[in-house]
Amino acid sequence: MEMQRMREKTDKMEENKAKRKLRVCVATCNRADYSKLAPIMFGIKANPDEFELEVVVLGSHLIDDYGNTFRMIEQDDFDIGSKLHTIVRGEDEAAMVESVGLALVKLPDVLHRLRPDILVIHGDRFDALALATAAALMNIRILHLEGGEVSGTIDDSIRHAISKLAHYHACCTRTAEQHLIAMCEDHTRILLAGCPSYDKLLAAHHRDDYMDIIRNWLGDNVKEHDYIVALQHPVTTDIKNSVKIYELMLDALISFNKKTLVLFPNIDAGSKEMVRVMRKKGVEQHPNFRAVKHVPFEQFIQLVCHAGAMIGNSSCGVREAGAFGTPVINLGSRQTGRETGENVLHVRDADTQNKIYHALELQFGKRYPCSKIYGDGNAVPRILKFLQTIDLDEPLQKTFCFPPVKEWDISQDIDHILETQSALAVDLGGTNLRVAIVSMRGKMVKKYTQANPKTYETRMELILKMCTEAVIDAVHLNCRILGVGVSTGGRVNPQEGVILHSTKLIQEWSSIDIRTPISDALHLPVWVDNDGNCAALAEKKFGHGKGVENFVTIITGTGIGGGIIQHNELIHGSTFCAAELGHIMVSLDGPECMCGSRGCIEAYASGMALQKEAKRLHDEELLEVDGMVDLKKAESVSAIHLINAARLGNRKAEAVLRTAGMALGVGIVNILHMVNPSLVILSGVLAAHYQAPVQQVIGQRALTSAQNIQVLTSDLEEPALLGAASMVLDYTTRRIY
């Protein structure tokens, strides 16, 4: 009894399953994909006991400029369940992206309401990508038509993306089937069906009234095989060139002087420019031309079948036209990779009118053997049978058939996993040449120092030697060097890696391409900037400037320099001399500066300026005070002695430092009034001494809105090296290099 009840239950389940209709939603986006989907829709509608059809219309179907082609769906007596206006006008790349986004916003409600068992999507349009994305995320099974094919534009990427989202595939050729299998798709879910449009065109192209159709579109005087059908679409990855080819095609057609039916391009980015070219040439008013937005597919078949030639880059030329033996001239790269019959003449590099004209001369009026590469007229019965075999109880999650991977290919080395990402930093100072391995967190893993040579040849030789040594050491230190950053004095073109003008402290160092020799020797990317900018970058990544959108760093050392960060970007200026802060003039008749001018901040507040004043006081025997170490030789006097003398009460030294602090403070006030940073960072050996005087001058002389800007001293010990490293380690802290 128990076995009998179980058998009855099983039979009942199978009976219910057999009675259940498969709810199929067909989504069509434009006139081209409807020509492929319509035969399937008719087949589904003709089997009401097996299927329940839902139709969703979106994309260019609903746009007047493209013929409002949804009406032909209604004329075919299909009930449209949903019309989604998803196209954002503009016919450029941004409009395509926005259209995908708009479709993704609208589709969930429709798919949730319809609840299809399977969604049928065709081809490689951006609208279809939105459909596939929405359905996959909503756990709706997808049947993708014409996957696995190769053309030559962004359509390839979209087509393959849809194939990866789809659960089932109905492809047109054996090659496409092999491509899908190579893409790791399950071969049991791939149907080699042929193109559905072939079912219609092979059955209907022998019509008795074909001349009536031709005359209706091209006039009473046109003859069979004595007119041209032109259909050219933009190539979204090369819009400028595709528009140029379109212009050359129209020029060639005008010169060829045959009746021509010109169809408007599709809605892809660039179509607006192509229509503009067509209207500029007066095609719509030309007696030999008829420009139309849409031709019903059944009539279009007749026009292509009996044409003297078809020209452009439409897939119809390399697919459907082959079934009639119509000669085709395929222009440009849009169909590169498509399987074609011998009726297609490719003009890949369509760069002259004469080349296109010559192709027309070669092809026009010829007839070729009919080709059935893309179908034999029986695609729809195969697809319907394939739909009936889909088991809705099997797991929805699709699986991929990856090729076997050798075990040793997937192993990893623990040393590689634990490797420290690092930069090689180089600092070219007036006295020393320094190289350091710097980790991602700013740790100096190892540092190398040598005296900076006086000549270019010996300096470059030493740089390469020290860098090579550091790279070798990095391997043993388990550091992975990502690139080289170079900090140097003077004016630098960071985009080219060229030192334009050096400071007087570094000889033979102007008009030097430092990037190329280092990159060639180490096979690493190289970034170059001056030491002031590098100090700002160091603060941005490792110091007080971290997280601050606008700030200024000022180096107070042998000279005065700095860098300006504005809106998180380093400012270089049009000739790369922005942030030459040491050469801001604070007096019209001040002391002479090394730049040749007078009254610069550097002439008052730099280490060299203070040393000069210290020597003057020493020569006048006004420097030493009680408590100071005896100074025997003037050559040994430095800025430090001046500072110590001031601390011990030397009024002359105090006056010099007061003037220096005032000059630096006034210069910084000028900076505050120009770029209005939220923070000033003083760096270098004199920073701590200048902090209080500068803050005081700001409080006294700056505008009220700038008086509360904080002045901090840097905590970084090696700003030049850290800044050089930051160019490598942190992309967000540098401009376009």
pLDDT for residue 734: 39
- Asked if residue 371 belongs to a domain, the reply is no
- Judgement on whether residues 520 and 555 belong to the same structural domain of the protein: no
Domain that holds residue 631: 544-715
**Where does the pLDDT of residue 733 fall: very low under 50, low under 70, confident under 90, or very high at 90 and above?**
very low
Helix (H, G, I), strand (E, B) or coil at 174: helix
As for how many domains the chain has, the answer is 4
- Asked if residue 148 belongs to a domain, the reply is yes
Question: Residues near 21 by Cβ (< 8 Å), separated by ≥ 6?
Answer: 48, 49, 50, 51, 52
Q: In what order do the strands lie in the sheet with 569-570?
A: 569-570, 560-566, 551-556, 679-683, 710-713
Residues 715 and 146: their CA atoms lie apart, in Å, by 63
pLDDT for residue 11: 57
- Asked if residue 355 belongs to a domain, the reply is yes
Question: What is the chain's alpha carbon radius of gyration, rounded to the nearest angstrom?
Answer: 38
Backbone angles phi, psi at 694, to 5 degrees: -65, -45
For every residue of 485-534, which 3-state class applies, written as one string?
EEEECCEEECCCCEEEECCCCCCCCCCEECHHHHHHHHCCCEEEEEHHHH
- Judgement on whether residues 516 and 465 belong to the same structural domain of the protein: yes
Active site residue ranges: 531
- Judgement on whether residues 215 and 179 belong to the same structural domain of the protein: no
- Judgement on whether residues 211 and 274 belong to the same structural domain of the protein: yes
- Judgement on whether residues 569 and 445 belong to the same structural domain of the protein: no
- Judgement on whether residues 438 and 522 belong to the same structural domain of the protein: yes
* Residue 60, token pair as written in the block: 């260019």
- Judgement on whether residues 342 and 471 belong to the same structural domain of the protein: no
Parallel, antiparallel or unpaired: strands 569-570 and 560-566 = antiparallel
- Asked if residue 394 belongs to a domain, the reply is no
DSSP codes of every residue in 127-139: HHHHHHHHHHHTT
**Could you tell me which residues are beta bridge partners of residue 711?**
680
**CA triple 663-667-670, angle to 5 deg:** 145
- In angstroms, the Cα distances linking 294 to 290, 291, 339, 441 are 12, 9, 26, 62
The model carries a pTM of: 0.52
pLDDT for residue 579: 84
Other CB atoms within 10 Å distance of the CB of residue 697: 20
- Judgement on whether residues 473 and 492 belong to the same structural domain of the protein: yes
- Judgement on whether residues 220 and 350 belong to the same structural domain of the protein: yes
Angle between helices 271-280 and 239-256 (to 10 degrees): 30
Residue 206 annotated as part of some ligand binding site: no
**Where does the pLDDT of residue 92 fall: very low under 50, low under 70, confident under 90, or very high at 90 and above?**
confident
**Cα 185 to chain centroid, rounded:** 28
Task: State the residue for tokens 């009406």.
Answer: 71
pLDDT digits (tens, 9 = 90+) for 179-201: 999 999 999 999 999 999 888 87
Contact 487, 423 (CB under 8 A): no
Inform me whether the pLDDT recorded for 18 exceeds 70: no
End-to-end CA distance of the chain: 83
For residues 87-100, give the mean pLDDT: 86
Residues 297 and 200: their CA atoms lie apart, in Å, by 9
Backbone angles phi, psi at 560, to 5 degrees: -120, 130
- Judgement on whether residues 211 and 282 belong to the same structural domain of the protein: yes
**Where does the pLDDT of residue 418 fall: very low under 50, low under 70, confident under 90, or very high at 90 and above?**
low
Q: Is the dihedral of CA 534, 539, 542, 543 positive or negative?
A: positive
Contact 495, 737 (CB under 8 A): yes
DSSP 710: E
Helix (H, G, I), strand (E, B) or coil at 8: helix
- Asked if residue 659 belongs to a domain, the reply is yes
* Residue 241, token pair as written in the block: 């060139």
Contact 515, 728 (CB under 8 A): no
pLDDT for residue 631: 66
Parallel, antiparallel or unpaired: strands 710-713 and 679-683 = parallel
**Cα 416 to chain centroid, rounded:** 29
Residues 180 and 147: their CA atoms lie apart, in Å, by 7
Backbone angles phi, psi at 306, to 5 degrees: -105, 10
Other CB atoms within 10 Å distance of the CB of residue 414: 7
Nearest partner of 720 among 584, 581, 528, 517, judged by Cα: 528
Identify residue 151 by its one-letter amino acid code. Answer: S
pLDDT digits (tens, 9 = 90+) for 326-350: 999 999 888 877 788 889 999 988 8
pLDDT for residue 409: 43
Of the three residues 195, 211, 246, the one that is the final residue of a domain is 195
b/e sequence 247-276, b meaning 16+ C-beta within 10 Å: bbbbbbbbebebbbbbbbbbbbbbbbbbbe
pLDDT digits (tens, 9 = 90+) for 253-310: 999 999 999 999 988 888 889 999 999 999 999 999 999 988 888 888 899 999 999 9
pLDDT above 70: percentage of residues in the chain? 92
Of the three residues 162, 195, 228, the one that is the final residue of a domain is 195
Residue 171 annotated as part of some ligand binding site: no
CATH of the domain at 312: 3.40.50.2000
- Judgement on whether residues 182 and 207 belong to the same structural domain of the protein: no
* Residue 35, token pair as written in the block: 């020509």
Residue 467 annotated as part of some ligand binding site: no
Backbone angles phi, psi at 17, to 5 degrees: -65, -40
- Asked if residue 732 belongs to a domain, the reply is no
pLDDT for residue 128: 94
pLDDT for residue 475: 86
Q: Comparing 282 with 430, which gets the higher pLDDT?
A: 282
**Where does the pLDDT of residue 97 fall: very low under 50, low under 70, confident under 90, or very high at 90 and above?**
very high
CATH of the domain at 620: 3.30.420.40
- Asked if residue 372 belongs to a domain, the reply is no
- Asked if residue 727 belongs to a domain, the reply is no
- In angstroms, the Cα distances linking 336 to 348, 517, 658 are 8, 41, 75
Of the three residues 143, 174, 195, the one that is the final residue of a domain is 195
Q: Comparing 639 with 303, which gets the higher pLDDT?
A: 303
- Judgement on whether residues 651 and 604 belong to the same structural domain of the protein: yes
pLDDT digits (tens, 9 = 90+) for 375-401: 888 899 999 999 999 999 888 888 888
pLDDT digits (tens, 9 = 90+) for 711-721: 999 999 899 99
